[in-house]
Chain A
Amino acid sequence: MSERPVKRQSYWRRILGQTFVRWGARLGLLWVGILALVGVFAPFLASSFPLLLSQDGALSSPVLEHLQPVDVLFLVAFVAVLALIPMQLTLGRKLLLLAGVLSLSAVLAYTWVSPPKLVIYEQYRVAEAAGRYDWVLYAPVPYSPKDYQRDRGETGLEAPLSNGERTHWFGTEQNGADVLSRMIHASRIALGIGFVATGIAMVLGVIIGGLMGYFSGVVDILGMRLVEIFEAVPTLFLLLTFVAFFGRSLYIMMVIIGITSWPGYARYVRAEFLRLRKQDFVQAAEAAGLPLSSILFRHMLPNGMGPVLVAASFGVAAAILAEATLSFLGLGLVDDPSWGEMLNQAVQSSSFNWWMAAFPGGAIFLTVFAYNLIGESLRDAIDPYLSKSG
């Protein structure tokens, strides 16, 4: 029997190809990509500090001087990802390398980068009005998220594009800060909490589920009880309790969402491992005397990751929603804007200001929708019964 060999490509490339052949997934990816770009370059997109200015012939960049360590970290991560993609490494190595670069740059950023403690948003505007600069180049949205523009006597609650002098594309909130700028900066929180919380849950779930599936027996029985205990914990109320006790912190939120949502992943991995254990190629690996680590991580884990990844893309959406819910309830971050907190602002003011609800609400909707679209497509691509070419 002669069969023509198909074009050569690795399994994941094939799956991703099949996933992003679908329009829904492409649109989802496009939206997530835009969000990621916006998040990474937020300080350059929306800031009261000029990108560049020339004073007495000397160039300076106030934006760079005011960069926070977090901003630097985002930029380093972005560059690292771009650099890693064309490299000839396995996915696991790439992730490891990325984690290394990130932790190193986090340490460096927090020790070396020291922005001025006192932030005066209006200083450059005032100086410009006084004619002290030769020329000034501002960001596309020339307002920082917490620039309440007191110097201009902003009254707040301006509808989009209603002010003749200044353009606020999405209007301003009750303190006078620009809504678009706040949304741009809040996109980082949405992305960050989604990825970090899901990452924590996945790591925990894969480890515990893998152990249950491979060793089965007593380990499995104990593990499943643990899974059931964690599944019984109501995440939202646990979050409320923690916020009440330990104050509001983004990191606590990420960790709590992470450690309460791993049981789902553990179940998937367990089921996959139970199935894979009986597969001939795992038996062959065992018959060849391969060490346990190779059997687990080279032969079983990559073959069992499909359902986990599908669950993860839905998990990211769920984590974003959880954060938005908390912030909406007024238990989110104190100072930094997030989409949920902006919705809360919209509800709290005495009159209904549509722009304060519609834009952040729409962003939450689109992001969750995008992740769900990607997850849906990924599920179809991985499901052998549904595989089709287009």
Chain B
Amino acid sequence: MLLSVNKLHTWFRHQGRTIKAVDDVSFTIDRGETFCLVGESGSGKSITALSIMRLLPSSNLDRHDGEIRFQAEGGLTVDLSTLSGAQMRQVRGGQIAMIFQEPMSSLNPVFTIGEQILEAVNLHFPELGEEQAWERVMQALREVQLPDPETRIHAYPHQLSGGQRQRVMIAMAMACEPDLLIADEPTTALDVTVQREILRLMKALQQRTGMAILFITHDFGVVSEIADRVGVMQQGKLVEVGQTEQLIRRPQHNYSKALIAALPENLARHEQHLQVAEAEPLIRLKQFQIHFPVRKGLFRRVVDSVRAVDGVDLEIPRGQILALVGESGSGKTTLGRGILRLTEPTGGQVDFDDTDITRLDRRQLRRFRRHMQIIFQDPVSSLNPRLSIAAIITEPMKVHGIGENQDERIEIARDLLAQVQMEEDALWRYPHEFSGGQRQRIGIARALSLDPAFIVCDEITSALDVSVQAEILRMLLQLRAERGLTLLFITHNIGVVEYVSDRTAVMYQGRIVEQGPTDAIINRPQNDYTRQLIAAVPRVRL
């Protein structure tokens, strides 16, 4: 038993109230074991980890309570909750190390990565000479398979990619040979192919050093890949602990059942996957391209261009959902905005029915916009914080002359809110009063207010918890069926693609590398990149 947490409680002070963030949590981790804490946002999984590390901000920490027994080197068992600040600093980094979600902000931008790892090494092995310490740094970088470590050791964090930074974070954590590594969503900000490499790396390091990992995630795919045992957290409570396979196949607690049932892989398939070839296309892209100029020098001459979207031919059949998948930087968001001319295309054409959108002048385009709408990823920034929901939904209607007067428009807005399953008193509230899922519903209602034929959905569920995601996806499919909507669904989540889309297009470096019926793309990919991408997706083994 390396770590045993017994009846851990953590209380927070927030606006004069005391909130139980962690409520009676007990679990154990053995040496060499990977224990996963899963839960939705706000379930207290990160707070649990920070409580173990005693890294919670004292400004709003009320108190914590419970036993955190940690078996240090030499078989000595200490209760971390009783250690002094100085003793705790010895444990941190030396025996328990931690890596975080955001590799950019967890590295200091003004030091080279070598210096940062060296600092950790010097702290925990003060007896090492300078040369030996640098040797250890180099060894750590080699261990995490950072390419070309001899030059990278002098690189600054901004010179590395996200995956490389996360490797550096792991190297920094591993440099002191900890007994326990706490990883707080270490792969959430990374692309799936990079995520796979990092997960493999962590597993390999674990096998070599025998350290234990406490892995925090919200993604059951990742759990299924890496965990030996899983704990499910809900509102500060650990509701169920079990062996990974067992828990995913036969969850006992109601909440775990609901959570696993909400995975896109488990959602009941919608029957009406339309016959692909039959419907004629609503949107047709021909040699569509968006290049961003790179300017240099005194006169800002265009010296080069970034080819965000580079000659795309794509057809979206009427009434169908086309999923556009790809890793970050592949140009899928730019493509989506380019179709709506929110980003000006630099070449090619977009036919909407028979209208070439790229040829419309400003005024025509403004009138045409009611036929095509967009829903955004970030529920926080997609609604104007200064306007009430009524104003947000009715303003576009007013501009396009929908509804005789304001009363009628409010009536329409009420109907729309009912369609996205919101209470009608939401009309008179402001965006900050709603949760992420509710805001996303409002965003959908706003897009529907103009009764468009085509909607671009840009990663609309990736900021949401799985249960909310399931509700939103279900609702979207229903709206599609009722209104005959055509959707371009941009996402990186293959589970969602499978559930929601009729056709799929895979984008890589500004080009569509493969497109076809979703089923064929997922199960029988032809292109090398598609194959690699699909294989990297962590799947829940059911």
Interface centre among A9, A287, A294 (most CB of B within 10 A): A287
Q: Is the CB of B450 within 8 A of A3?
A: no
Partner of B399, one of A1, A290, A390: A290
Asked if A56 is at the interface of the complex by the 8 Å CB criterion, the answer is no
Partner of B430, one of A2, A8, A279, A284: A8
Asked if A175 is at the interface of the complex by the 8 Å CB criterion, the answer is no
Minimum C-beta distance from B108 to chain A (A): 19
Query: A3 — which chain B residues lie within 8 A by C-beta?
Result: 434-435, 438
Asked if B367 is at the interface of the complex by the 8 Å CB criterion, the answer is yes
CB within 8 Å: A-B pair count? 96
Cα–Cα, bound, A2→B467 (Å): 11
Q: Is the CB of B340 within 8 A of A280?
A: no
User: Which of the four size classes fits the interface of chain A?
Assistant: 20 to 34
- B-facing mask of A288-330, CB < 8 A → 1, else 0? 1111001000110011000000000000000000000000000
Cα–Cα, bound, A279→B434 (Å): 19
Across the two chains, which residue of chain A brings its CB closest to B431?
A281
Query: B378 — which chain A residues lie within 8 A by C-beta?
Result: 280
Q: Is the CB of B366 within 8 A of A284?
A: no
Asked if B109 is at the interface of the complex by the 8 Å CB criterion, the answer is no
Query: B373 — which chain A residues lie within 8 A by C-beta?
Result: 287-288
Asked if B382 is at the interface of the complex by the 8 Å CB criterion, the answer is yes
Partner of B382, one of A2, A9, A281, A302: A281
Partner of B386, one of A2, A279, A285, A302: A302
Minimum C-beta distance from A256 to chain B (A): 34
Q: Is the CB of A5 within 8 A of B434?
A: yes
| B431-467, CB < 8 A from A | 432-438, 443, 446, 450, 465, 467
Across the two chains, which residue of chain A brings its CB closest to B387?
A298
Q: Is the CB of B340 within 8 A of A287?
A: yes
Across the two chains, which residue of chain B brings its CB closest to A283?
B342
Tally chain B residues at the interface, Cβ within 8 Å.
48
Q: Is the CB of B387 within 8 A of A283?
A: no
Cα–Cα, bound, A261→B138 (Å): 55
Asked if A348 is at the interface of the complex by the 8 Å CB criterion, the answer is no
Asked if A88 is at the interface of the complex by the 8 Å CB criterion, the answer is no
Q: Is the CB of A9 within 8 A of B430?
A: yes
Given A281-B383, A287-B373, A288-B450, A1 contacting B395 (CB threshold 8 A): no
| B351-404, CB < 8 A from A | 365-370, 372-374, 376-378, 381-388, 395-396, 399-400
Given A1-B465, A11-B385, A6 contacting B432 (CB threshold 8 A): yes
Partner of B396, one of A9, A12, A289, A303: A289
Cα–Cα, bound, A287→B376 (Å): 11
Q: Is the CB of B434 within 8 A of A303?
A: no
Q: Is the CB of A8 within 8 A of B382?
A: no
Asked if B25 is at the interface of the complex by the 8 Å CB criterion, the answer is no
Minimum C-beta distance from B435 to chain A (A): 4
Q: Beyond A283-B376, A299-B387, A389-B15: 17 further Cβ-contacts under 8 Å? A: A1-B435, A1-B467, A6-B432, A8-B433, A10-B388, A11-B430, A280-B376, A280-B382, A287-B340, A288-B369, A288-B370, A288-B446, A289-B366, A294-B399, A298-B387, A303-B385, A303-B386
Q: Please, could you name 24 A-B residue pairs with CB atoms under 8 Å apart, sorted by A?
A: A1-B42, A1-B437, A1-B467, A1-B468, A3-B434, A5-B433, A8-B430, A11-B385, A11-B386, A281-B381, A281-B383, A283-B374, A284-B374, A284-B382, A285-B384, A286-B342, A287-B340, A288-B396, A288-B446, A289-B367, A289-B368, A289-B370, A299-B384, A389-B15
